[in-house]
A and B are shown apart, each in its own frame.
Chain A
Amino acid sequence: DTAVSQTPKYLVTQMGNDKSIKCEQNLGHDTMYWYKQDSKKFLKIMFSYNNKELIINETVPNRFSPKSPDKAHLNLHINSLELGDSAVYFCASSPVRGSYNEQFFGPGTRLTVL
């Protein structure tokens, strides 16, 4: 299947732990994104990479660190997890630079911090 995939789908962890979420796309896209969707369902961009280069870095705590080993993968590492980090994290990718920025989303990772 051609798609954007994420692992894990669910992540339940304790405050203070460090965790990673992985994302892979086999669509041949150049650009990948991380979004956070909070309990009120508001979808907000966190990071974007284009060909392994960081191009969007919104105001998020520096406990969040994205890593792109190649243009098909974008991982998100979170240090010292806090209760407020509980949310659904979506990875997305888009094929074309510039205006025609159709983004395709992965299935999401529901993170619960206890």
Chain B
Amino acid sequence: QKEVEQNSGPLSVPEGAIASLNCTYSDRGSQSFFWYRQYSGKSPELIMSIYSNGDKEDGRFTAQLNKASQYVSLLIRDSQPSDSATYLCAVTSGAGSYQLTFGKGTKLSVIP
């Protein structure tokens, strides 16, 4: 069974700090990796995608991928109270796959 594991949190960080969210996955054939943000009562919103090893930066967000360790992370710099949400890690199940497997999410709370 393909699994995506995340620490459920809550992860509390002070405003202005770096929030670090982690995700591990079980399927070595996974090729595409995504981070979604979900505010309470809202739908998941795609914030980052990463397909190759290394770092990918977009504004205050950096996604990091290490396929050898089967590990993907999301760093949020200069965290703001508006970043408080649940962050879902999602992984495509191999080449040519349509199927995303989601982790259970990490709840982030940014304290003013």
Contacts and interface: CB of A to CB of B under 8 A. Distances in A.
Contact of B98 (A42, A50, A107): A50
B54 interface: no
A107 B86 CA distance: 16
A101 B32 contact: yes
Contacts of B98: 31, 33, 48, 50, 55-56, 94, 97, 101
Interface string B76-95: 00000000001010101001
B104 to A, nearest CB: 5
A48 B34 contact: no
B99 interface: yes
Contact residues on A (Cβ < 8 Å of other chain), bracket: 20 to 34
A27 interface: no
B18 interface: no
A101 B90 CA distance: 10
A101 B97 contact: yes
B43 A107 contact: yes
Interface in A74-109: 90, 94, 97-108
A107 B42 contact: yes
A99 B52 CA distance: 12
B31 interface: yes
A69 B43 CA distance: 24
A99 B104 contact: no
Contact of A45 (B38, B96, B100): B100
Interface of B: 31-32, 34, 36, 38, 42-46, 49, 51, 86, 88, 90, 92, 95-102, 104-105
Given A43-B88, A103-B90, 6 more contacts: A43-B44, A98-B95, A99-B95, A101-B32, A103-B46, A105-B45
